[in-house]
Structure 1
Amino acid sequence: MKTFKLSLMASVVALATGCTTSPSMTDQQIADTLAENLGVNYQLVTNHGANEGLQCRELAAEWASCDLINMTLTNNGPAVSSKDWKIYFHSIRMILDVQNDQFKVTHITGDLHTLEPTDKFEGFDAGESVVIPYIGEYWTLFENDYMPRAYVVAGTSEPKTLESMDFEDPSAYLDPISGNNWKRTPTDNNILATAQSRFEKNRDVNLIAKEELAGTIVPTPLSTKLTGGSVSLANGVSIDNKALLPSMLDAATKRMEMLGIDTDGTYPVTLILDPARFSKANQVSGAYELDVTNGKTTIVGYDAEGAFYGLQSLMSLASTGSEKQIPTLKVTDAPRFDYRGVMVDVGRNFHSKDAILRTLDQMAAYKMNKFHFHLTDDEGWRLQIPGLPELTEVGGKRCHDLSETSCLLPQLGSGPNSDNFGSGFYTKQDYLDILAYAKARGIEVIPEIDMPAHSRAAVVAMEARHKRLSEAGDLAGANQYRLMDPNDTSNVTTVQFYDKRSFINPCMDSSLNFVNKVITEVAAMHQQAGMPLSTWHFGGDEAKNIKLGAGFQDINAADKVDWKGDLDLSQQDKPFAKSPMCQKAIASGVVSDYAHLPSYFAEKVSKVVAAKGIPSFQAWQDGLKYSKDASSFATDNVRVNFWDTLYWGGGASAYDWAAKGYDMIISNPDYVYMDMPYEVDPEERGYYWATRATDTRKMFAFAPENLPQNAETSVDRDGNGFTSKGTAKGKDFYGLSAQLWSETVRTDDQFEYMVFPRVLAAAERAWHKADWERDYQPGVEYSQSTQMVDKTALQQEWARFANILGQRELAKLDAAGIQYRVPVPGATVKNGVLAMNISMPGLALEYSTDSGETWKRYQAENQPKVKGKVQVRAVSADGKRYSRVIAL
């Protein structure tokens, strides 16, 4: 191992003396001066600290993995001599060591840290730059790891956001990640996304003639038979509705009008219900038949949802332009899975009601029927609950209140103010509106109130309630819904670096009172909206102390290894281990061990759910891992979102869960988490603990029923092949869900960028089983060296799907106002000739040879000659937006 030598650009450089802040300046004036004038810049020195000689193991880095970052502060204003100030900044990695003795860093909670002067601080001269090298845990591979909106507090001042960091684009305060720092380890085998590598990847996807795509419906039906004719919708349609409720017909006609189809026209479309018409195999909710002829279209639904989907398929054939010609055909169709879901996390960052409604529109268009609404997490409670105002008044707001009695402390780049998506909630009326909107589109809303972990917003809010009522003398009321044992001294660190206040205590009667209250109120809202609550999502994930994980070893161990962090494990506790109430429960034999408490709590909550007539209980699978099987729960159905990564054993464990009787909803993070980056490029958005990239093509190629098969068609997080096989045979999987977690997603535009267009590929896989998907067989092992998957058929189907997106479906997203990700094109220059391509043919491509001053349209049939630096970009279907610009 070579020794790492720090290379500092200039540790402390005095550029000018200038004027100085007056000793008589108030705290607020000092804070204002620093906020207005202090520039911040991050430079990643190395992501491979252990390989470069940093003491990662001794600094207690998990898996002995750490990085080195230079934070440079530049004073662009008058000199500052005060030592009474703190900069609050966000770091999603724990900071382990600071290598400048004029400063210290303190972890506050979650990703919030403070940087403040030590006694050795010499002040900031005017124009001075100070470099503060610090060592962080793990690595920072994508630019969005560096969160915005650090803020400063001086003495008793109001907090002020640093102007140099008040940007959504991290390039404003970050040097580009360079060299091989895009690699997690030096042996990382991923392929960096460059113009050239994209060009190579896109080579097998060529433009398909529009005529060859006629009759293609997304998602793909069971059977489509073209009958050789065509019909024009240019004069609009006249709908004879004998199947849909008025609200559902209204939802469908609004989409028609958005696509430019007049619904007061002349072409007749008849909707009827006739369940007896369907074969036994197709007697499922959502099944339909579609018959398009020159004279009329007839849609027969097995149920109302089927008739609605038949109408969506008719619209799928249409384009958004003036061309309104569609082919005549006969379609027989039924869904692959009962559960075709999208999960949206609004706890980490809030997303507007309008963004949710737009998402529901697209779910309906592509026949997805379950909206999993992740309404709460450590960072936010987003649903108004009558009778518990603190949940949203405190738990739904972030601001700089160290007591956290008026709000939660800032997280995830939200800064000190409440005027951004770090704060926000849905009123009762908002939620009723969302329920009604979903019902009109055949979508079930599944609310998730995450517990017992990821519950900090609820715990802090109920502590604020306890304080308010206690001070008013109402001790009984104060304790009625309290969620933490005040005598619990457990030393716990959660996955997102919160302490014991992240957990609802499962041993307190008041915790169950709280659950009962919340479920009662949410169920009442569903009843009022005419959508009875049929599924309650408990959450249940990650109820653990990460410091007790396998990446650490005891500091006093005799047989230490180099690849684990040294930690005094005697000071670490399991959640609730030092709660007197839980100690009593363990001693009485209610539950055998502290690790079993989350599953025990899930079983208790399921009884509350069943008592309210709610038939289905749902959770992330690890929340139920200590329960015997599905029979341990009180509801008729017990469903789990399965989120093990395949290369860490998920290809086997999914079938073990199915064998225990659970309804399995495949939700794998390495394939259908939409918070993962689209590609291996530091400028992309997303977390990447499960995979470095999931683009639309990868999601399209996912085999959700035969999970081991994916080992033949994809790689692990480090770009390496892996093997996978299952041994158990359980009941068939119940569904597929695509997830959008929001840690890095602070705005509605960012939300839609991450979800669209790849969610259309998830819709395809949830509705349609492709011929290249092999049936699961216990004991059959797949890897990069096996040749069992028809990869030619897979490639051909992807090429067709990609063309449908590029030539038709993305234009529909434009018309709906969806800010989808425009794919970055591939490009290469050979012998002075520019060649370009794109993953979704049909989108326009442009290039510039004058640093973006002017752009020219690329024509494949007339490849241009270029000299010097060339920039390329792709254009959205409506011509109004562009991909990221890439230089060759």
Structure 2
Amino acid sequence: MKRFSLSFLFCVTPLFANQAAIDDLAANLQVKYTLIDAMPVSCPEKLKKCYLSELVLTVPSDARYNDFSIFFSQLMPIYSVESEHFSISHINGDLHKITPKAEFTGFNKAKAESIRFYTKDSQITRSEFMPNYILTNKDASTDIRARVIKSTQTTLDEDTGLEQQPYLAPFKSLNQLRVSKHDKTPWMGAQYLYQTQVKPTLTKPPVSLIPKPTHLEIHTPSKNVDLAKGLAIAPELANNHALSAAFARLSALGIKANDTGIKTTLIIDTSLANEAYSLDITPQSIIITASNNTGAFYGLMSIAGLVSLDNLVVPSLKINDAPHFEFRGLHLDVARNFRSKAFILNTLSQMAVYKLNKLHLHLADDEGWRLAIDDLPELTQVGGHRCFDLTETECLLPQLGAGIDKTSSINGFYSKKDYQEILKFAALNHIEVIPSLDMPGHSRAAVKAMDARYQKYITLGNKAKAEEYWLSEPNDDTVYSSIQHYNDNTLNVCLPSTYRFIEKVIDELIAMHQEVGVELTTYHIGADETAGAWLQSPACNALKSQQPGLTSFNGYFIEKVAKVIENKGVKVAAWNDGLGDTKATNMPTAVQSNGWSMITEGGHQEIHKQANLGWDMVLSIPEVSYFDFPYQSHPEERGNHWAARAIDGYKVFSFMPENLPAHAEIWRTKENTNFNADDTQHRLASNVKFKGIQAHLWSEMIRSDKQAEYMLYPRLLALAERAWHRADWQLPYAEKGRVYNQSSETFTEQAQQERTQDWQRFAALVGFKEIPKLASEGVFYRIPTVAAQIKNGKLDAFTPYPGFAIEAMTNEGKWLPIDQIQHGNEIQSVRAKSAERVGRSLPLTE
């Protein structure tokens, strides 16, 4: 068939777009998005916060028709549009639709079409501006196949491997970085980093490891122990399958089993605490003493932590060690954007290396259901994918810039076999998997999947089966908007079918665990962010009339599901805001609360209150443990911004979990302003201790496994350090209540100096030992940006972790090692370099 040119088609077909025209327009339409102002002086309709943006559309050839529409993701709802020829409507969630007005007669190659619009709230990091705009005909009919507009697709930078967004104009001003007139967020360029970061002083790694052991003593006289000789492993170690992952780690580093190597034995001492161990290394023998297999496993991992890739010689020494926190976790969101099974397995391996022991696996949310459940195939057939299907019978809506491809890496799910493989591998690495299928909010994937199931069986005339697990109530006229702007993402908590569904899912989960000998110990129900649902639900109105004392449908749901879970022998976990809707007397005795209230907004009081109930409090503090936030406040740094603008390794390392309000002395708010933390009310009871801490990687803006690794490493190592080891410089919880702020001076100058000295040890270990190990395993860690300044006409530059080469771009555009540049005025930009790739460059002045 002859293919006509774009311009010919548009001249001959003035009214309707056929498939060829849609294909050509998708290939040629240039879309340029500009964030004009993130803090306008005033907002339309008198909103308190908004931002102004512009889309400019251009074509290389005239396109004389208007039968098309463009769907795109904008995280916050667009509510005011200024355009001669186009309107924008909010569909659901982040999905919006651009539609030509009636007077629009088509694109003119000589004229750019402008669409200015205001969006609610704020959006300021480049990664928040989603790709993959979708072009189809105006009514999105199925006879025209939708296409992704090519100019809105992302690319990869050849040097850094980082994602580029050619459709998004550069961010150059503070009005694109700050969200209000009160916002003092700094632009973290090279000179700012030079003035604020700690410059490394160590030129080689110290005798230590990550996480730091409780006690390490080098024998006197010290003798070198060459672990390259291998280990002559005693049978009680060699035949112990529970230790096989640790031996595999040692072997990968070059410390192999060898009958003529250093004699290595295990002593079981049940008087030691759980997970505790001692490690005694001499040229003649290595003795690990532990109370159980987990302690022995960590003893072996500490041997691996002592060595470098290029140096397997360690001094003779003894370590006595035990974890500070029982719960040392990582939360991975695989629901918003999917993560491959290989990524999960690799992450489990790294968790074990740094003695993390809980994987909180977030398997379902509005944008995806990622675990196959027997007898409910719709959960993954529909809920496991996003594509362009406005009926949502084939897949979910293309939220978060998903595009149209069901086979994309952001789509997918774990089969029963996949999940069980993850369970077994986690157990082998002494890690508990805590599954989470978020309910009752954040449940849109489940709701739409069960809607599809309902339609299937109602079409077959089987009403009972159609309604068996139906999560919707057709006569519920409640109008609400969730925190992510959905109007249909919440289970109806008043329907018996909702609880049949939940029991079905939990029973299948328990069975999956039992089949591979890994008990389901804890199940996380989520239970957060259920804004305004059920107000007009007939079922809920009936329930309310039956229980007039009912004050919270969300609390009712959590209490009821918690009892179901408890009766199955499983511990219930949930986010602390949802648990705040419950009555503690109606909850099980054993409850895990993930405290994610913001410290900068007084959240320590809510965390203290729930910890005082006797619940296991796991600290999930967004300002320090949400690794989907940027490392630095700079537009090019990937991440969200609602709780913190910068979370680097030093901030994580400096976390003092025992005394949450004391962080008012060393942190600032998300707008970089001082705050007070009042600890005179709702104090932590004297006998109460937190269960542990957890890192989090939410995935709304993370579209690949590499991006996920970039956000995790190396700051996950700092979280592991704080989870395992309590440093002497950390502030304990104060005996008396007080108000903390930048002037309270509880964190003394001496303690700050001790922290800096401890950081030097940690940074040297990361830079000289752990980064090379991560690189050797193919981990796409973040190469740090360079702190730089011209001093006395010369460039002085460093990275927070030593061991990286530093290059500078000359005025001629050539990258050179900095020691080859004579004068500072020759330099344009700086960047760090590893053996494999380069990091993000920074202009010397910006």
TM-score normalised by length of structure 2: 0.94
In the alignment, the residues of structure 1 paired with residue 409 and residue 542 of structure 2 have an alpha-carbon distance, to the nearest angstrom, of 41
Letter in 2 for 1:621: N
Aligned pair partner of 1:739 in 693, 696, 704: 696
Alpha-carbon displacement from aligned partner over 1:355-407 (angstroms, at most 9, x marks no partner): 11111001000000000000000000000001100000000011111111111
Aligned pair partner of 2:12 in 14, 22, 45: 22
Alignment of 1:314-463 (within 5 A): 314-321=303-310, 323-463=311-451
Aligned to 2:508: 521
1:109 aligns with 2:92: yes
CA 1:507–1:788 in structure 2 vs 1: closer, same or farther (change >3 Å)?
A: same
How far did residue 590 of structure 1 move?
A: 6.3
Contact (CA 8 Å) 2:365, 2:443: kept in 1 or not? Answer: yes
How far did residue 245 of structure 1 move?
A: 6.9
Letter in 2 for 1:798: W
Letter in 1 for 2:691: Y
Aligned to 1:82: 65
Moved more, 695-704 or 788-797: 788-797
In the alignment, the residues of structure 2 paired with residue 738 and residue 601 of structure 1 have an alpha-carbon distance, to the nearest angstrom, of 27
Moved more, 667-676 or 124-133: 124-133
Contact (CA 8 Å) 1:17, 1:126: kept in 2 or not? Answer: no
CA 1:702–1:542 in structure 2 vs 1: closer, same or farther (change >3 Å)?
A: same
1:794 aligns with 2:786: no
Task: Give 3-state SS (helix, strand or coil) of 1:736's partner.
Answer: strand
Aligned to 2:160: none
Moved more, 137-146 or 747-756: 137-146
Aligned pair partner of 2:717 in 760, 767, 771: 760
Contact (CA 8 Å) 1:243, 1:273: kept in 2 or not? Answer: no
In the alignment, the residues of structure 2 paired with residue 243 and residue 640 of structure 1 have an alpha-carbon distance, to the nearest angstrom, of 37
How far did residue 19 of structure 1 move?
A: 8.3
In the alignment, the residues of structure 2 paired with residue 802 and residue 264 of structure 1 have an alpha-carbon distance, to the nearest angstrom, of 33
Contact (CA 8 Å) 1:267, 1:295: kept in 2 or not? Answer: no
In the alignment, the residues of structure 1 paired with residue 114 and residue 521 of structure 2 have an alpha-carbon distance, to the nearest angstrom, of 56
Task: Give 3-state SS (helix, strand or coil) of 1:720's partner.
Answer: coil
CA 1:349–1:646 in structure 2 vs 1: closer, same or farther (change >3 Å)?
A: same
Contact (CA 8 Å) 1:591, 1:597: kept in 2 or not? Answer: no
In the alignment, the residues of structure 2 paired with residue 132 and residue 247 of structure 1 have an alpha-carbon distance, to the nearest angstrom, of 63
Alpha-carbon displacement from aligned partner over 1:106-164 (angstroms, at most 9, x marks no partner): 11111110101011213101243111111111222111121000010015311100000
Aligned to 2:123: 140
In the alignment, the residues of structure 1 paired with residue 724 and residue 798 of structure 2 have an alpha-carbon distance, to the nearest angstrom, of 29
Aligned to 1:38: 29
Aligned to 1:858: 818
Aligned pair partner of 1:819 in 780, 786, 798: 780
TM-score normalised by length of structure 1: 0.89
In the alignment, the residues of structure 2 paired with residue 241 and residue 40 of structure 1 have an alpha-carbon distance, to the nearest angstrom, of 66
Task: Give 3-state SS (helix, strand or coil) of 2:399's partner.
Answer: coil
In the alignment, the residues of structure 2 paired with residue 247 and residue 467 of structure 1 have an alpha-carbon distance, to the nearest angstrom, of 49
Number of residue pairs the alignment of both structures matches? 816
Q: How much identity, in percent, do the aligned residues show?
A: 37
Letter in 2 for 1:460: K
Alpha-carbon displacement from aligned partner over 1:692-714 (angstroms, at most 9, x marks no partner): 11011101101112101211111
Moved more, 426-435 or 134-143: 134-143
1:480 aligns with 2:444: no
Q: Which runs of 5+ in 1 are unaligned?
A: 1-15, 545-573
CA 1:175–1:219 in structure 2 vs 1: closer, same or farther (change >3 Å)?
A: same
CA 1:271–1:341 in structure 2 vs 1: closer, same or farther (change >3 Å)?
A: farther
Contact (CA 8 Å) 2:610, 2:617: kept in 1 or not? Answer: yes
1:633 aligns with 2:591: no
In the alignment, the residues of structure 1 paired with residue 560 and residue 842 of structure 2 have an alpha-carbon distance, to the nearest angstrom, of 54
Contact (CA 8 Å) 2:247, 2:300: kept in 1 or not? Answer: no
Alignment of 1:648-727 (within 5 A): 648-726=601-679, 727=681
How far did residue 849 of structure 1 move?
A: 1.1
Moved more, 29-38 or 580-589: 29-38
CA 1:139–1:408 in structure 2 vs 1: closer, same or farther (change >3 Å)?
A: same
Aligned pair partner of 1:65 in 49, 54, 57: 49
1:215 aligns with 2:199: no
In the alignment, the residues of structure 2 paired with residue 329 and residue 310 of structure 1 have an alpha-carbon distance, to the nearest angstrom, of 13
How far did residue 782 of structure 1 move?
A: 1.9
Moved more, 584-593 or 405-414: 584-593
Alpha-carbon displacement from aligned partner over 1:535-567 (angstroms, at most 9, x marks no partner): 0111001111xxxxxxxxxxxxxxxxxxxxxxx
How far did residue 276 of structure 1 move?
A: 3.4
How far did residue 184 of structure 1 move?
A: 1.7
Alpha-carbon displacement from aligned partner over 1:316-344 (angstroms, at most 9, x marks no partner): 001012x2111211111111111000000
How far did residue 23 of structure 1 move?
A: 1.1
In the alignment, the residues of structure 1 paired with residue 262 and residue 813 of structure 2 have an alpha-carbon distance, to the nearest angstrom, of 50
CA 1:162–1:269 in structure 2 vs 1: closer, same or farther (change >3 Å)?
A: farther
Contact (CA 8 Å) 2:10, 2:21: kept in 1 or not? Answer: no
In the alignment, the residues of structure 2 paired with residue 851 and residue 886 of structure 1 have an alpha-carbon distance, to the nearest angstrom, of 16
Contact (CA 8 Å) 1:390, 1:465: kept in 2 or not? Answer: yes
Q: Which runs of 5+ in 2 are unaligned?
A: 1-5, 156-162
Task: Give 3-state SS (helix, strand or coil) of 1:375's partner.
Answer: strand
CA 1:30–1:841 in structure 2 vs 1: closer, same or farther (change >3 Å)?
A: same
In the alignment, the residues of structure 2 paired with residue 28 and residue 844 of structure 1 have an alpha-carbon distance, to the nearest angstrom, of 52
How far did residue 864 of structure 1 move?
A: 3.7
In the alignment, the residues of structure 2 paired with residue 201 and residue 837 of structure 1 have an alpha-carbon distance, to the nearest angstrom, of 12
Letter in 2 for 1:44: L
Aligned to 1:506: 493
Moved more, 466-475 or 867-876: 867-876
Task: Give 3-state SS (helix, strand or coil) of 2:31's partner.
Answer: strand
Alignment of 1:253-268 (within 5 A): 253-264=247-258, 266-268=260-262
How far did residue 309 of structure 1 move?
A: 0.4
Aligned to 2:280: 291
Aligned to 1:125: 108
Aligned to 2:543: 585
Aligned to 2:158: none
Contact (CA 8 Å) 2:555, 2:583: kept in 1 or not? Answer: no
In the alignment, the residues of structure 1 paired with residue 34 and residue 259 of structure 2 have an alpha-carbon distance, to the nearest angstrom, of 61
Task: Give 3-state SS (helix, strand or coil) of 1:116's partner.
Answer: strand
Letter in 1 for 2:224: S
Contact (CA 8 Å) 2:231, 2:261: kept in 1 or not? Answer: yes
Contact (CA 8 Å) 2:207, 2:306: kept in 1 or not? Answer: yes
How far did residue 831 of structure 1 move?
A: 4.5
Contact (CA 8 Å) 1:144, 1:170: kept in 2 or not? Answer: no
Task: Give 3-state SS (helix, strand or coil) of 1:234's partner.
Answer: helix
In the alignment, the residues of structure 2 paired with residue 863 and residue 266 of structure 1 have an alpha-carbon distance, to the nearest angstrom, of 52
Contact (CA 8 Å) 1:677, 1:687: kept in 2 or not? Answer: yes
In the alignment, the residues of structure 2 paired with residue 130 and residue 754 of structure 1 have an alpha-carbon distance, to the nearest angstrom, of 37
Aligned to 1:272: 266
In the alignment, the residues of structure 2 paired with residue 762 and residue 426 of structure 1 have an alpha-carbon distance, to the nearest angstrom, of 28
Task: Give 3-state SS (helix, strand or coil) of 1:172's partner.
Answer: coil
How far did residue 750 of structure 1 move?
A: 0.3
Task: Give 3-state SS (helix, strand or coil) of 1:371's partner.
Answer: strand
CA 1:81–1:530 in structure 2 vs 1: closer, same or farther (change >3 Å)?
A: same
How far did residue 30 of structure 1 move?
A: 2.4
CA 1:651–1:362 in structure 2 vs 1: closer, same or farther (change >3 Å)?
A: same
Letter in 1 for 2:581: Y
Contact (CA 8 Å) 2:808, 2:827: kept in 1 or not? Answer: no
How far did residue 273 of structure 1 move?
A: 4.5
In the alignment, the residues of structure 2 paired with residue 142 and residue 108 of structure 1 have an alpha-carbon distance, to the nearest angstrom, of 23
In the alignment, the residues of structure 2 paired with residue 823 and residue 244 of structure 1 have an alpha-carbon distance, to the nearest angstrom, of 40
How far did residue 470 of structure 1 move?
A: 0.8
Letter in 2 for 1:523: I
Task: Give 3-state SS (helix, strand or coil) of 1:880's partner.
Answer: coil
1:530 aligns with 2:517: yes
